[in-house]
Amino acid sequence: MISIFLVIGLLNVITILLCLYRAVVGPGVFNRMAAVNVVGTKTVVLLVIMGYIFERPLFFDIPLLYAMLNFIGTLVFAKYLERGELCF
The answer to whether 79 and 86 are in contact (CB under 8 A) is yes
Q: How far apart are CA 24 and CA 88, in angstroms?
A: 29
The pLDDT score that the predictor gives to residue 62 is 86
Count Cβ atoms within 10 A of the Cβ of residue 22 and give its class: 0-12 exposed, 13-18 middle, 19 or more buried: middle
* In the chain, where the domains are located: 2-83
pTM: 0.81
User: What's the whole-number mean pLDDT along residues 14-22?
Assistant: 94
Question: Averaged over 58-83, what is the pLDDT?
Answer: 87
- Give the pLDDT score at 82: 81
